[in-house]
Structure 1
């Protein structure tokens, strides 16, 4: 594969990969926490379905809930 940006030093590449994986892992944990809060609020009627959709949209997760919306935004 030919990439525009390549790191040829294996040690630096590994450090960048590890940093990227740490970021992805912490981001996933944060997203799980946010989803849990929304789910509890929705289940306990503290928010409406429309409010839950708005919160999911803010998180960029609405397409995960409604796959038919993927790529259909204006």
Structure 2
């Protein structure tokens, strides 16, 4: 494989992978928490659809909600 970033020491590579996976896992849990709160706010009319879209954009997940719109760019 030809990667731009390559760590030749297997032990260091494994530690970097584990650290990256821990970060990805914690980020996924944070995103799940944020989107749960957002969904409840929207469901109970505490925020508008426009406000929800703005928050989704801020979270960087608007393309997950509206994938057909994002592919037109």
TM-score range, shorter chain: over 0.9
Unmatched runs of 5 consecutive residues or more in structure 1: none
Aligned residues: 73
Q: Deviations over 1:11-67 (max 9, x none)?
A: 000000000000000000000000001000000100000000000000001000000
Q: Report the CA distance between 1:68 and its aligned residue.
A: 1.2
RMSD: 1.1
The residue number in structure 2 matching 1:35 is: 35
Unmatched runs of 5 consecutive residues or more in structure 2: none
* Greater relative contact order (Cα < 8 A, sep 6+): 1
Q: Which aligned runs of 4 or more in structure 1 are off by greater than 2 angstroms?
A: 69-73
